[in-house]
Each structure stands twice: as C-alpha cells, then as structure tokens.
Structure 1
C-alpha cells in the first residue's frame, strides 16, 4: 500500500476527486515505468518534451502518482495508433489550452488510472523457491512470465500483484499442481477481459452524452470525474458478487455430480449383489 504522509500537498488532480480518490498511489520513476509499460528513459524524454508533468520533489526523490500513469497510458495508446510524439504534443497542448488543466488530469486519472492499489514487488529466484518449493520449475516460471504474472528483471523477477502471487503459492502448497493453476489463469483470462470491457463500458458510459470526437465542456468535467470515481468501486463490488455466485454454482454442480456418481456406483454394486443372491440355488 502506498505511503501517504499526512502533510503531503494535494496534486493538481486531487481537487477534482472525491475524498475517497484523493489518497493516490505513489511511485518512484522505476515503479512508474514498470506499471505504465514503458521505460525510465521514455519517462525522462516525455518530461523533457512537456508531455508529462514533473514529479513532486521530496528531498532528492521524485514522487509520481496516478496522473502520470494515466498520461503515459494515453501516450502509449496514441503511439500504438501511429501518432508521432510531435502529434501527441500538439494534441495535449491544444487540450490543455482549451480546458482547465486540473479537470483534464482528473478526467484522465478517473478513466485511465490504475484500479489496483498494489505496488510491484521484486523477488529473487531463492525467494520464489521458498514460496513455491520444488513446484517453481523452469517451465512454470517461463509460463508465469508468458502470462505476465512475473516479469524478468536481470536475475530476479517482478510481480505486479504480490497478493495474487502469494495466493498462488498457498494453493500450490495445498497440493494444486502449479501447471494446472497457470493453465486455469490462461483459460480464465479472456473471460476476465470480457468482464473488464463490460465494466469499463459502465464507467465511461457517462461520456456517451457528449460528442465522441470532443471532450466534455470544461464546466461539466468536475461532476463527471466525481461520477466516474463513484462508479469504479461499485463495479468492483459487482465483480466480487458475481464471482462468488459463479463459484458457488460451479462448486455446487461439481459436488452434486460427484455425489451422484458415488450413488450410482453404490446402487450398481447393490444391484449386482442382489442379482447374485437371486441366482444362488435354493437348498
């Protein structure tokens, strides 16, 4: 969980967030690059070009937050669609000149900010072996990297979700084969992606009443940001509720099928036994 000193000054975007959203995630430049799927070199370059706001200085350390994450995600997305950095710079300058900067940053963060408050954590190979025991085979590690559950960092590995990694280690210790667990993640991921798309649609549905090729009027942005921040946690509640329902249904079906199979087996044995008794010659 990010540390928030009580005396920390509010960021430009905090004035557009409700109180529950003002406690922002904070990152070093290395953490920012990792969670934004870019490099430290790119972060520095974007700052130099004015595409990214400088970090808050605390002594000699620069502290970034979710406004920087959402801006980097926007830059990455535009680059992937073929825009140049010069195009993006012109676009951002035009947006910033036409709208209140605090409102734009607040809208960017409300829509594109991270949904998780977990911070990436680095693990040595020895630490992973201690967590997973002999199940942490080279093949399992390679598959975890392919799935994005772990990222190689020299001789170490980085997990974007230490909580999920710890849960996987506990399941492995309970006897669930790690290969099966990773297969389950791979099978479930497309379904989670579909659920996420539906939930994001719910969140950004607030924008549907505006022209799709234009930003909302500046006067509407603060209320829109507040509405999106209220919807985000409710969407997560919906996910948890539906997941619990689905797990109960799936486990109930499995238990019912297993009991039915046992009953059929027992009834079959009983029928065979009765048939054997009927065939015995009478004395």
Structure 2
C-alpha cells in the first residue's frame, strides 16, 4: 500500500479511505502480503482527475460501480461482428470531457445497457466513433445526454426492425452471403427515406387559399 500511495502521489491514509469507500478494488493477497498492480494505480489517477474536474467522491464511487458492472470489451466487440463501426478507447476523464460533465451514473448505466460502452481494465471502449461523435455533438447543442440516450434506445428498436425486414427479404431470395453483399443497398434505402422524412418535417405546411 505504501508503494501504491507513493506512485499515485497520495498518502497511505487516502488509499485506505478509497478502499473503504469501494473506489478501488481489494488487493490480491498472498499470505499476509497485499499486492496492488497497475489497474489500482490507474484507478487512483482517474479518481484524482475526476476530483480536479469537480466530481464528488460519492459521484465517483457511483461511476466506479457502474464501470465495474459493465460488460468487458471482449463481450462488447462480439456484438454485431463483423461491423463497419470503429471502436474508440477512452479514459474515464476523456469520456467526461466529451460530454461536458453530463456523464452521471444513470447516463453511464444507460450507455452500458445499450452496449455503447464496455470496459477493458481502466479503459472504456465505445463501440462506434460515429455514435460517440454524434452524441457529443448533440450534447454540445444543448440536448441533455439522458435524452440523447433515450432517443438512441428508440432508434435501436427501429433499426433492429429495419434490419430484420431487409434480412428476411434478402434471405427469401438468397443466403447469408447475399445479406452481407447487399447491406449497402439496405443502408442507402434507410438513409434516403430518413432524409425525405426530415424534409417532410421541415417543409412548411401547405396553406389554404381563400
């Protein structure tokens, strides 16, 4: 514990306090010796950075609990493989910076439940750079992250329904190789229909002439 505290630049008392609060995991024990490793040091650095950004210890504890309950990266990247999306690795502080302090335990759990986020030691993996960038852009435009994630859940449901429709349509006249080969056509249909649907929402309503 003394070596860990020295490496983190904090006191042994602080390390012990963090352990008691559940902010860091217990060490590996061999007899009377407690072994800490790089994951403990990385967690202490994360705690320090989050404290500097104004997070409370209670909030950090809740975030840590949500991370520890999250799926690991191997499980996350197994979803929907093969994929055209590019995963992104982030630290907890980089994730917080992306969303201007809107990373609450509730929002974090919603993102984990959606499968947007997974964990790899002290690193976080976002399943899609495109989704990360778009989500962050919407938050910068003033839309709360909680509402962005709620909308994402609805989009996910509709996207699953569309994927099922195209999958069944193509399989009725081919096989799985055809589904992979023709997926760009399915994406083009969805993008075009969404574009026209937005046009209809943005067009001013027709006015009756009397």
TM-score by length of 2: 0.55
Equivalent residue, structure 2, for 1:247: 198
SS in 1 for 2:124: strand
What is the CA–CA distance in structure 1 between the aligned matches of 2:100 and 2:196, rounded to whole Å?
33
The reply on whether 1:36 has 2:3 as its aligned counterpart is no
What is the CA–CA distance in structure 2 between the aligned matches of 1:148 and 1:34, rounded to whole Å?
7
Residues 207 and 152 of structure 1: is their aligned pair in 2 closer, same or farther, counting only changes over 3 Å? Answer: same
What is the CA–CA distance in structure 2 between the aligned matches of 1:136 and 1:31, rounded to whole Å?
20
Equivalent residue, structure 1, for 2:165: 198
Contact 1:206 1:228 in 2 (8 A): no
User: Once the 2 structures are TM-superposed, how far is the Cα of residue 245 of structure 1 from its aligned partner?
Assistant: 1.7
Residues 250 and 155 of structure 1: is their aligned pair in 2 closer, same or farther, counting only changes over 3 Å? Answer: farther
Bigger RCO (CA 8 Å, 6+ sep): 1
Residues 247 and 146 of structure 1: is their aligned pair in 2 closer, same or farther, counting only changes over 3 Å? Answer: same
What is the CA–CA distance in structure 2 between the aligned matches of 1:33 and 1:189, rounded to whole Å?
19
The reply on whether 1:149 has 2:101 as its aligned counterpart is no
What is the CA–CA distance in structure 2 between the aligned matches of 1:190 and 1:128, rounded to whole Å?
25
What is the CA–CA distance in structure 2 between the aligned matches of 1:32 and 1:154, rounded to whole Å?
11
Residues 134 and 157 of structure 1: is their aligned pair in 2 closer, same or farther, counting only changes over 3 Å? Answer: same
Residues 31 and 153 of structure 1: is their aligned pair in 2 closer, same or farther, counting only changes over 3 Å? Answer: closer
What is the CA–CA distance in structure 1 between the aligned matches of 2:74 and 2:115, rounded to whole Å?
17
Count of aligned residue pairs for this structure pair: 136
Contact 1:125 1:156 in 2 (8 A): yes
Residues 95-129 of structure 1: CA distance to partner in whole angstroms, max 9, x if unpaired? xxxxxxxxxxxxxxxxxx63x32232221111111
Residues 144 and 193 of structure 1: is their aligned pair in 2 closer, same or farther, counting only changes over 3 Å? Answer: same
Residues 235 and 178 of structure 1: is their aligned pair in 2 closer, same or farther, counting only changes over 3 Å? Answer: same
Contact 1:145 1:152 in 2 (8 A): no
Equivalent residue, structure 1, for 2:184: 233
Residues 201-256 of structure 1: CA distance to partner in whole angstroms, max 9, x if unpaired? 12322238xxxxxxxxxxxxxxx94x54542211111111111122222344xx65
Residues 251 and 147 of structure 1: is their aligned pair in 2 closer, same or farther, counting only changes over 3 Å? Answer: farther
**Structure 2 runs not aligned, ≥5 long:** 1-71
Alpha-carbon RMSD:
2.9
SS in 2 for 1:206: coil
What is the CA–CA distance in structure 2 between the aligned matches of 1:150 and 1:33, rounded to whole Å?
11
User: Once the 2 structures are TM-superposed, how far is the Cα of residue 170 of structure 1 from its aligned partner?
Assistant: 0.9
User: Once the 2 structures are TM-superposed, how far is the Cα of residue 177 of structure 1 from its aligned partner?
Assistant: 1.0
What is the CA–CA distance in structure 2 between the aligned matches of 1:201 and 1:169, rounded to whole Å?
34
TM-score by length of 1: 0.42
The reply on whether 1:184 has 2:135 as its aligned counterpart is no
Equivalent residue, structure 2, for 1:128: 95
